[in-house]
Amino acid sequence: MSMQIDFKKELEAASKSMIMIHDPKLLIKLIVRMIVRKLQIKHAAMILYEADRDAYVLSISRGESGIKIPAGFTRFNEESPLIKLFSRKEYKHLTYNRNGIVSEDINRLIWHEMVIKNGNGHEIMDLLHKVNEQMEMLNSVACVPAYYRHKLMVILLLGEKYDESKFSQEELDFFAALASDAAMAIRNAQLFTRLKAQSERNRNLFLQTINVLGSTIEAKDAYTRGHTERVTQYSMAIARQMVENGSEQFDKTFFENLYIAALLHDIGKIAVPESILNKPGRLTEEERRIIQLHPVKGAEIINPLSLPQECYNGILYHHERYDGKGYPEGLDGENVPVSASIIAVADAYDAMTSSRPYRESLAKAEAITEIEKNIGTQFCPLPARAMLELFEKGEA
């Protein structure tokens, strides 16, 4: 080799980096790229078992154009010479090198077939001949298998070196160890991807259910049709604006929880009689008391879902006020959870800009003026100012 390589150090570094990568395609790409760059070979590729397709596929190929095989171009079945060779129990742990050298392991196998099995060596010789032809087609001079729980997972294909020297036993041992670590890392990455996909499917099903649940109140309350969707949109926009203006730093989880809370903020109205919800005139004190129970009823309804606390807070406290004069608990100032204070602004804005049987809707500018007048009393300053900024940008 033209340069000295500390194989132990390289293997440790590769193993550490592989553990941190959960994207199988990226992981394979980095492994092959590292091999080509570090060992100065013209071409490297990886055949990977894909459980979903129950097939071995040339997943990645790196090297000089005209030498490398296009990724995904070749698929291998169980009868393919390379797969057949390394899938058989007695041929595991081989590193096959057609670069002018037949390894001692293969010599022992031929001897085993011919002597122990009464002259059946022609079968292994025929298989090795076919493997040789396949490797020539793939521009490879050596191949290294790796397994996961006795299942062939990976075959690492290695092209010639730029200096045309032969692979040393130390190099082949390094490839074998690397391939073994790669098989484990790739399998873990595949499982991680599958779990993530399953989680995403479950999440989508969950959100669909939440959407249906949120829409049930609109079927009952004729005067709030579209209210839930609009409040959700306003709430998300307010939160994004708070991040944009630097007043808050919300992560992805917060936005997901806020979305759910806004969708379900009025779910407690299911427990309110329709005669009160759809009353054309103003409410009596008793009717108002019943209506004001809907945040508590909503929290009770969603409690069995074991939603995150942020969702629960947004539903239970979205009628609290910054000055402590809200309900159901009379929380004030920073004691009002931020998700609830955001929904409170969105809810009030939509209520003011929507018509009711007993009053006409306000123009958006008038509603914004009302919000501005009530900053620090009814509304928490940060989400309220974010709402004013959205209006100024024409986004509300």
Per-residue CA distances from 101 to 107, 126, 132, 141, 371 (Å) = 11, 17, 12, 10, 82
- CATH number of the CATH domain containing 318: 1.10.3210.10
Cβ of 211: how many Cβ atoms within 10 Å?
A: 15
Domain finish residue from 193, 227, 250: 193
Same domain, 183 and 211: no
- 41: DSSP letter: B
DSSP 283-350: PPHHHHHHHTTHHHHHHHHHGGGT--HHHHHHHHSTT--TTS--SSS---GGGS-HHHHHHHHHHHHH
- 88: DSSP letter: S
* Number of domains the chain contains: 2
Q: Which two tokens stand for residue 27?
A: 């992981």
Instruction: Flag whether 1 is in a domain.
Output: no
Same domain, 218 and 166: no
Contact between 243 and 191 under an 8 Å Cβ cutoff? The reply is no
Instruction: Kindly report which listed range (18-22, 171-175, 363-367) carries the lowest average pLDDT score.
Output: 18-22
- Most confident range (mean pLDDT) of 124-128, 208-212, 291-295 is 291-295
Contact between 355 and 227 under an 8 Å Cβ cutoff? The reply is no
- CATH number of the CATH domain containing 36: 3.30.450.40
Same domain, 256 and 177: no
- Mean of the pLDDT values across residues 84-92? 68
d(CA 333, CA 324): 7
Instruction: Flag whether 93 is in a domain.
Output: yes
Residue predicted with more confidence, 264 or 198: 264
Same domain, 29 and 151: yes
Instruction: Flag whether 158 is in a domain.
Output: yes
Residue predicted with more confidence, 121 or 30: 30
Domain finish residue from 193, 211, 232: 193
d(CA 279, CA 259): 29
Domain finish residue from 160, 193, 226: 193
Contact between 31 and 39 under an 8 Å Cβ cutoff? The reply is no
Same domain, 375 and 300: yes
Same domain, 96 and 67: yes
Contact between 387 and 371 under an 8 Å Cβ cutoff? The reply is yes
Nearest to 330 by CA among 341, 322, 339: 322
Same domain, 220 and 189: no
Binned at pLDDT 50, 70 and 90, residue 112 comes out as very low
Cβ of 64: how many Cβ atoms within 10 Å?
A: 12
Q: Which residues contact 19 (CB under 8 A, 6 or more apart)?
A: 185
For the chain, percent of residues with pLDDT exceeding 70: 79
Q: β-strand 55-63 against 43-50: which pairing, if any? A: antiparallel
Instruction: Identify the domain containing residue 155 by its residue range.
Output: 7-193
d(CA 92, CA 101): 19
d(CA 165, CA 147): 28
What is the per-residue pLDDT across 169-211, written as a single tens digit (0 to 9) for each?
777 777 777 777 777 777 777 777 776 777 677 777 777 777 7
Q: Please tell me whether the peptide bond between 383 and the residue prior to it is cis, using omega within 30 degrees of 0.
A: no
Instruction: Flag whether 2 is in a domain.
Output: no
Instruction: Flag whether 360 is in a domain.
Output: yes
- Mean of the pLDDT values across residues 361-369? 92
Q: Tell if the pTM clears 0.85, that is, is over it.
A: no
Residue predicted with more confidence, 250 or 192: 250
- The strand ranges marked E within the chain are 43-50, 55-63, 75-76, 96-97, 142-148, 151-158
DSSP 166-183: PPPHHHHHHHHHHHHHHH
**Backbone phi, then psi, for 119, in 5-degree steps?**
80, 25
Contact between 55 and 66 under an 8 Å Cβ cutoff? The reply is no
Q: β-strand 96-97 against 142-148: which pairing, if any? A: antiparallel
Cβ of 75: how many Cβ atoms within 10 Å?
A: 13
Instruction: Kindly report which listed range (133-147, 225-239, 362-376) carries the lowest average pLDDT score.
Output: 133-147
- 100: DSSP letter: S
Instruction: Flag whether 396 is in a domain.
Output: no
Same domain, 213 and 339: yes
Same domain, 242 and 359: yes
Same domain, 354 and 301: yes
Instruction: Flag whether 71 is in a domain.
Output: yes
Same domain, 294 and 374: yes
What angle, rounded to 10 degrees, do the helices at 338-352 and 252-263 form? 50
**Edge-first strand listing for the sheet containing 75-76:** 75-76, 55-63, 43-50, 151-158, 142-148, 96-97
What pLDDT is stored for residue 115 in this prediction?
45
- Rounded to the nearest angstrom, the gap between the alpha carbon of residue 213 and the centroid of all alpha carbons in its chain is 26
d(CA 336, CA 326): 10
Same domain, 152 and 15: yes
Nearest to 318 by CA among 392, 232, 255: 232
Instruction: Flag whether 66 is in a domain.
Output: yes
Q: Which two tokens stand for residue 11?
A: 């293997």
Amino acid at 18: M
